[in-house]
Structure 1
Amino acid sequence: MARAVLTHHQGPPGSAPLLQWVDVDALWLHQPWRVDPAMRALVAANLRAVLGGAAAAGVEIALVTWTFHTPELRRVVVDAAPPDCVVRWVQLVAAEEVWRARFEADGDRTGVDAFYERRYRVAQAEAEHADAVVDTSHSQVRAVAHRVHALMTELL
């Protein structure tokens, strides 16, 4: 989805605000895999560095993607943002049957287990706190990317 938003944002230089995509999941790529205070601190420090560097380079919009399945995860992003940065939250949601089909179509996963089931339910509930919600259930990627892009510029 983020790649589609970036593609949608293309245009002649100077015609649109500079946009950078930051995928927080990529900041979790370490081995051996573990989630502990040291790794949480590492991800937060990396995110602060990336967002600070982007702001210093003139990036006007940082599209930060992550599965925000707890309020604490949103707080990580808010705390990592430079002090003068405005943070807006656009939550993508899907009906459960659509989510399950998409999840199971991902060849890297073995199926929906209790862990992912819980994450889905909490993320759906968290959507009520978002600045904007986009239901992706019956939409093509391009249409969702167009809507997310519009919301990014509207919410600024």
Structure 2
Amino acid sequence: MLLMINVDDISGELVPHAIDSLMKQGAKSVHVVPAITKKGRPEFIFFIDAPEDRTDDLARYVTSELGTLGVKVIKHDHIYVPYHMTSILVECPGAGLAEPLTVHAKCFDSKESSAPYVKAEFDDLRAALDVLIQADQLITFTTLKSLVELVALSGCQSTVGGVTARPESVE
């Protein structure tokens, strides 16, 4: 189920709190879009993807926390895109790392008519980047993400700026 609410009288500072609370209460995902409503007033439109058995509780939460007067419930079909996870090991010879860092990537299983697509996991990238920065390795988040995704797509080891990434199964 997709819950949609419009709220035009909250501070933007409440939005991250609401997203976190909705996720903890069982929402599958939450998207918030800033918009302009009548009389030029700013508002936020919340899209909350929720299992059917959680819609009532989530609707009560947004009513009490965000002060909305109504919740639209949209029944929708979800087209599942199959994928598998792969592990990429990130190393930095000479940086004193005890063991390689692991970054997971989603590899979307494509049909012959579509191009392959890979997406590195954000939390893994951020954790690896924090360790690399602590080890005085100069690499940006964007570069590390590109390196991991290239290795996931190609299945081959690659190095950028002293940081090496390889598929977990390749030694």
TM-score tier, shorter chain, comes to under 0.3
Query: By percentage of residues, which structure has more strand?
Result: 2
Compute the TM-score of the two structures, normalised by the length of structure 2.
Answer: 0.20
Structure exhibiting the larger radius of gyration computed from Cα positions? 2
